Chains A and B, each alone.
Chain A
Amino acid sequence: KNEVEQSPQNLTAQEGEFITINCSYSVGISALHWLQQHPGGGIVSLFMLSSGKKKHGRLIATINIQEKHSSLHITASHPRDSAVYICAVSGGGADGLTFGKGTHLIIQP
């Protein structure tokens, strides 16, 4: 079974800072997902990627398949970016995703 590790577990930064959250996994995958969970508990999917890089607004996700590593970057961070960011991987099986424990991000004004 895949092991998904995220770092850091907690991150507090000032508004405007460049944020990086890291994710590593132990076994080859078909895709990696970045998810966002707000304090109310709902989860939304930010990215699904299997190679290279994707960008959406101020969010950028990269993946290095050889190194089994992905990063999520937030440029010009804002207090509304405060949330838990979760990395998850899929191996192509019917049982869905394997999740990391999440990174709790707080952006202070």
Chain B
Amino acid sequence: DGGITQSPKYLFRKEGQNVTLSCEQNLNHDAMYWYRQDPGQGLRLIYYSQIVNDFQKGDIAEGYSVSREKKESFPLTVTSAQKNPTAFYLCASSTRTGVGANVLTFGAGSRLTVL
């Protein structure tokens, strides 16, 4: 079955460490997105990518980095520069054009806790 796989589901990090969250999709979607979810807040866009080897900053990109070397993969690195990284991170994908554009398929999420 097609879908999005995020890993790890839970991750603990010490302050000052970089961590990378994995996102893989087999839906043949061009567009991929990373969102951050905090209690009581809506999902906020960190980075998005419309095609391989291209990505754009979202609303809260500071302290994060991404790469898009393959269509299926869009890993997110939470760097030590991110001041408050404890959050729930969601990866999503969609087609880039047509009826399915902006109909997002979500991964199950990764919960990052900084100790």
C-beta contact mask, B75-115 vs A, less than 8 Å → 1, else 0?
Answer: 00000000000001010101010000011111111010000
Q: Is the Cβ of A41 less than 8 Å from the Cβ of B42?
A: no
Identify the interface centre among A43, A88, A92, A98: most chain B CB within 10 Å of its CB. Answer: A43
Question: A28 CB to closest chain B CB, in angstroms?
Answer: 15
CA–CA, A53 and B49, complex, Å: 32
Q: Which of A4, A31, A96 contacts B31 (CB 8 A)?
A: A96
Interface bin, chain A: 20 to 34
Question: Interface SS of chain A: helix, strand, loop or mixed?
Answer: strand
Identify the interface centre among B43, B56, B88, B94: most chain A CB within 10 Å of its CB. Answer: B43
List the B residue with the shortest CB-CB distance to A41. B109
Q: Is the Cβ of A41 less than 8 Å from the Cβ of B94?
A: no
Q: Which of A31, A97, A98, A101 contacts B41 (CB 8 A)?
A: A101
Summed over the interface, the residue pairs from A and B with CB atoms below 8 Å come to a total of: 61
Q: Is the Cβ of A33 less than 8 Å from the Cβ of B48?
A: no
Q: Does A76 contact B (CB under 8 A)?
A: no
CA–CA, A44 and B104, complex, Å: 8
Known: A4-B42, A41-B88. A94 touches B31 (CB 8 A): yes
Known: A99-B43, A102-B42. A43 touches B94 (CB 8 A): no
List the A residue with the shortest CB-CB distance to B50. A94
Q: Which of A45, A90, A95, A99 contacts B42 (CB 8 A)?
A: A99
Q: Which residues of B contact A94 (CB under 8 A)?
A: 31, 48, 50, 56, 96
Q: Does B40 contact A (CB under 8 A)?
A: yes
C-beta contact mask, A33-57 vs B, less than 8 Å → 1, else 0?
Answer: 1000000111111001000000000
List residues of chain B with CB under 8 Å of any chain A CB: 31, 33, 35, 40-45, 48, 50, 56, 58, 88, 90, 92, 94, 96, 102-109, 111
With A4-B42, A33-B104, A95-B45 already in contact, 9 other A-B pairs whose C-beta atoms are closer than 8 Å? A42-B106, A48-B102, A86-B43, A96-B33, A96-B94, A96-B102, A97-B43, A97-B104, A100-B42
